[in-house]
Amino acid sequence: MSEKALLAWIRSRPSPGADPSFLALDTGIGDDCAVLATEGGDALVVTTDMLVEGVHFRIEEGAARIGRKAVAVSLSDVAAMGCAPRFVFVSAGLAPGTPDDAARDLVDSMNAIAERHGAIVCGGDVVASPGGLTLSTTVLGVGRTGRVLRRSAAEVGDRILVTGDLGGSLRGGHLDFEPRCAEGVALAARPGVHAMIDVSDGLSTDLHHILEESGAGARVEAACIPISAAARATAERSDRSALGHALNDGEDFELLFTADPEEAARLLAEPPFETALTDVGEIRPAAEGAVLVLDDDEERPLRAEGHEHLC
């Protein structure tokens, strides 16, 4: 079963309701975070991620960078909802014989990246893991602007924008990226920003997540995609173009979002943060599908060819 098929099956299963006197489930499976409505009416978002040695990192990349990544990927999920991270929980499966210094570096780096973005590591668990290092992180965040951005809110005519640049993450970016927490909160404060996701599986795949949840299509301009220097360097030694790496490598952890044309123009003219913003296309009716427009105006289907965990 593919990752997508498994998630669809899980999503289809019935689940018991929460006690309405305390929490109510607003948004469940299908977004970067679950959204809970509290008794006071504030939104609480919750996300969890797991990183496995040999899949998401190599142990020789260093405990400090690995620990930082483990927390940062969950901070990025909260950012993708336009919310601010507050509380972090970490469970670690450590291989027998893990050096004391490595264990301390893991913890110190987790505390540092959490604190940098206004959160605190406040609990978790530690167990032995004969199969190598495994880390699971859970982050709780709050909606500081009164809005939570979801994948399902894109509207026909919206512009598609992305922060930063894309591709080549295996050259170090997958460990050292900065989660766009402040940027996410700033975007949630703009009423014309509609749908958002973080680019974890690749722009091609993550844009499709927005399109599927919003019931929409898209037209993406290849010439506008911000290709990183790392993607261009990777392309020199691979069988994929720099554009292909930018579309599909994943683990960029930039924010991909849609906004009405007027809001998009304001954001590009006067960005509310220093991180670069690029307009890469337009949301179209679902019947038009997802299309990539190449430099010579040739159109081809934009397929979801990013990372797939179970294939």
pLDDT of residue 296: 85
Mean pLDDT of 225-229: 98
- pLDDT tens string 116-156: 999 999 989 999 999 899 999 999 999 877 789 999 999 99
In 131-192, at which residue ranges do the beta strands (DSSP E only) sit? 134-142, 159-163
pTM: 0.91
Examine domains 17-142 and 151-301 and report if their fold is the same: no
Q: Considering the chain, what is the average pLDDT of its residues?
A: 91
Reply yes or no on whether the pLDDT at 22 is more than 60. no
Q: 27 falls in which pLDDT band (50, 70, 90)?
A: confident
| Contact yes or no for 244/235 (Cβ under 8 A) | yes
Domain ranges of the chain: 17-142, 151-301
What is the CATH architecture of 17-142? 2-Layer Sandwich (3.30)
For domain 151-301, give its CATH number from 1.10.10.10, 3.40.1080.10, 3.20.20.140, 3.90.650.10: 3.90.650.10
pLDDT of residue 23: 57
pLDDT of residue 24: 64
Reply yes or no on whether the pLDDT at 195 is more than 60. yes
First-last CA distance in the chain: 8
Distance CA 297, CA 138 (A): 44
Mean pLDDT of 58-73: 96
Q: 34 falls in which pLDDT band (50, 70, 90)?
A: confident
Reply yes or no on whether the pLDDT at 21 is more than 60. no
- pLDDT tens string 248-290: 999 999 999 999 999 999 999 999 999 999 999 999 999 999 9
Exposed (0-12), middle (13-18) or buried (19+): which is 214, by Cβ within 10 Å?
A: buried
Distance CA 296, CA 35 (A): 43
Q: What percent of the chain has pLDDT over 90?
A: 77
Higher pLDDT, 146 or 112: 112
Reply yes or no on whether the pLDDT at 9 is more than 60. yes
